[in-house]
Amino acid sequence: MSLSAVAATDVIQLKAGHSERLVVGLEQVLLDEDFPSVAIDVPANALAIRVWTTDATGDVSLSGEYTGETEPGYEYEYGGVFGFIESDNIWLDEELMITKGDTQPLQSGPWTFTVGPSILPVDLNSFVPIVCNIHYEIIEPAKLEVRPDDALYFTLRRDEGLRAVLHLPDDFTTERNTRWRFEAYSGDHDIDLVIGPSNAAAALEFPYVTSIREIGYERAEFKGRQLKNLSFQVFALPELEVLNELPVVVRLTEITNLSDASPAPESLLPAVVPPAPNANLMTALELASYSTIAVYGPFGAGSGTILSTDGLVVTNAHVISGSHLVSTKAPTLSADGTEWAGDQKGRNTWLPSLHGGFNSDPRLPATAAFGLEIVDYRQDLDLALLRIVSTLDGQPLPKGIAFPRIQLGSSLELVLGSPLVALGFPMTGGSSTLVSITLTRGICAGFTTEPEGPAIKTDAGTHSGVSGGTLLNEKGHMVGIPSASITDANYAGGIGFAIPVESIPAEWLRKAGTSLPARMELPVSYAVACGCSLGSVGTCGNYIAIEGTYYPIANSKELGLGPMEWCKRLGVSAVAMGSLRDGHFHADSLRERP
């Protein structure tokens, strides 16, 4: 390893596995230019490189720029992503990890990496030159062998670029017309799949097929004649995933012909288990957190809320925008365009374009576990109704599965200052692609009307990604749907907006077998209050008259009403919030009118 001092205006060629000492001097700080740089020539077969500093005597910044031929006006910029520590960061040393296939991909050819001061000094007289070492290495991915029908468990490691390249055994043979499926799964983090020529770098430049969804399950299918010379790359993006290790399981399976009566292979995915087996043992807030799911679409992610135990979900229309444009067939290498339909044995090529991620543990990212389909879509309301229809790999749901569902409240009860809670999966909720659920508290800050209709203003966090989630009242009941599409709260002094639950179409609620609490001002007469003179309603108790029919108050004791409480009054008028179920009025609140 070489170690030499480099003048600030020099650009020295740095070879892989070597280091150089750089000095940031006062002259460069005064001019704010000509900071010390090194040139790197990235070989054509490199999949990833790492450039980093050590032993910095001050807070430095590190930037990289591709200096080879590229399209006019196109430049690589590395701000605000993993691998680039910005100038206001507290750490002295910095690191860049650049990989092929990334959002800012590695290109073979010349690069220049520059070290400068993180913050320009206020008092130049007190500036002390900054010295650091800069290092460069080519990162080699893990190279593994995958055998047909055997699940292969391994770990993606950061020092291997969070990438593995898999090949078939040298002695592998198969018939030309057989059909094969390659699957990769990682429960809590996003992984991607690229299949191409046996040369791994060429496969990324000229892939035969890619499966890149914002979840931890990828799948592709192809014919036997293509299999021998393929490489399979399973990877995560180092700039987006902060873990040093990421467990993965893959499997290559021959798919049986449709006429064959043999059973389908066992699913690679873990068994589907409802995240809340016994909702009756939960508080309203716990139930709300389990009923709030992450929604992953082809062009982004957001949140959703389960309305029914059979899996109806309400979300914002903009969360799923564009999902109908995405093919629901598994990526395939078939060159003849032949459609290969599925059957009930699990030999289907169908994959959902929308997925649901459940909050089974608030300490962990949402686990993508289900496929979703669109039931209805109201762009004018910015609302969509979805249904959970399959497992992540497109298989039917287990029979009898029941999902936790949210309890609905009413936004009409809200007044200025009413406590509110927002639940969802914001992009700012973690440092990885998949994030854990986030709960923020605030108040009802006001009301407004937007093009989509009425809206609730709140200072509870409604950042991007919380769209379609849940806004709760102090009882833990849903009163609104946070919507980042109405107004971006980041530019409104921390004020977010939510669509009130009353905007959910009544037909959607009927499909979900639920309803909003009734808001009625109900006159209560002497006879209704006591019930003693009403033989049709039984013994003395507290009753409410609704459109001429008398209904007993099912939870009068919880409301503090004794069995004869109102019998002592000649007439009572009350404001009731609640719903009718099983011939009883279940009151959320009941107060006497003066």
Which residue ranges make up each domain of the chain?
5-139, 142-255, 276-514, 518-592
Rounded (5°) CA angle 485-486-490: 80
Strand order across the 163-167 sheet: 142-145, 163-167, 230-235, 192-197, 209-211
pLDDT value for 585: 73
The CATH number of the domain covering residues in 276-514: 2.40.10.120
The pLDDT score that the predictor gives to residue 337 is: 29
User: Contact 331/343 with Cβ under 8 angstroms?
Assistant: no
What pLDDT score was predicted for residue 295? 92
Give the other-Cβ count within 10 Å of 410's Cβ.
22
Tell me if the domain spanning 5-139 has CATH number 3.30.450.40. Answer: no
Fold of the 142-255 domain: Jelly Rolls (2.60.120)
Structure tokens at 253: 């399976």
Per-residue pLDDT of the chain (594 residues; tens, 9 = 90+): 333 444 445 678 899 999 999 988 877 666 656 788 899 999 988 989 999 999 999 888 888 888 887 644 344 444 333 333 343 456 788 888 888 866 567 888 899 898 888 877 777 777 788 899 999 999 999 999 999 888 999 999 999 989 999 998 888 888 878 888 899 998 778 889 999 888 888 888 788 888 888 788 898 888 777 777 889 999 988 776 677 899 999 999 888 654 444 455 677 777 666 565 566 677 888 889 989 999 988 777 889 999 999 999 999 988 887 655 444 444 444 333 233 333 333 334 446 678 888 887 888 888 888 889 899 989 889 999 999 988 888 888 888 888 889 999 989 888 999 999 999 988 654 445 678 888 999 999 998 888 778 889 998 887 778 889 999 999 999 999 998 644 444 554 578 899 999 899 989 999 999 888 865 544 443 333 444 433 333 344 566 666 556 667 777 666 655 554 444 444 455 556 677 666 677 776 666 555
Report the alpha-carbon distance of residue 282 to residue 286 in Å, rounded: 6
Supply the pLDDT for residue 530: 42
| Helices then strands, each counted (H, E), the chain | 5, 35
SS3 category, 282? coil
Alpha-carbon distance 272 to 357, whole Å?
12
d(CA 519, CA 72): 63
Q: What is the Cα–Cα distance from 466 to 470, expressed in whole angstroms?
A: 8
C-alpha to C-alpha distance for 523 and 234, rounded to whole angstroms: 67
pLDDT of res. 542: 65
Q: Do the first three CATH levels of 5-139 and 142-255 match, i.e. the same topology? A: yes
What stretches of 298-452 adopt beta strand conformation (E)? 300-306, 312-315, 354-358, 367-378, 383-391, 419-424, 438-450
CA atoms of 325 and 391, how far apart (whole Å): 21
Q: Mind giving me the DSSP string for 532-563? A: TT-GGG-SS--EEEETTEEEEBTTTTTTT--T
pLDDT at position 188, please?
73
Helix, strand, or coil (residue 62): strand
β partners of residue 584: 581
